[in-house]
Amino acid sequence: MKRIISTTNAPAAIGPYSQAVEINGFLYISGQLPVDPASGGIAANTVTDQAEQVFANIKAILDEAGYTFNDVIKSTVFLADIADFGDMNNVYRKYYESDCPARSAFAVKSLPLGALVEIETIAAK
């Protein structure tokens, strides 16, 4: 059965989509931008600080759904500039130290709200 996951501890969806959907033991988290859920905006200016906010948003959704970072099996990282990969990766490795999920990373032309990084996540139990 499909379950929609929503928490006020992560940014609200800015379009016709859910923060996350759980089905058949899988949790699909929509791409998370570095939006502060309290202010509704992007406060951080560096990819490092933005990645930290993205992971805070992912954690809030994982928590709401009853998952942890250990349950994450796949991440897709979108960067406004591939030159920021190393700085993003330094933040990423803090959340995935061992038994890391599969991952793809891409440079894209631009991201919503002028963000430098966006990460979508799949977790499984």
How much is the pTM?
Answer: 0.96
CATH number of the domain enclosing 14: 3.30.1330.40
Q: What is the sign, positive or negative, of the torsion defined by CA atoms of 18, 86, 53, 122?
A: positive
DSSP string, 15-43: SSS-SEEEETTEEEEEEEPS--TTTSS--
Count of structural domains within the chain: 1
Whether 79 contacts 106, CB under 8 Å: yes
Question: Does position 90 have pLDDT exceeding 90, yes or no?
Answer: yes
14 has pLDDT over 90? no
Which residues share a beta bridge with 26? 23, 124
Domain that holds residue 82: 3-124
| pLDDT tens digits, 24-74 | 999 999 999 999 999 999 989 999 999 999 999 999 999 999 999 999 999
- Beta strands per DSSP E along 6-116: 20-23, 26-32, 72-79, 102-107
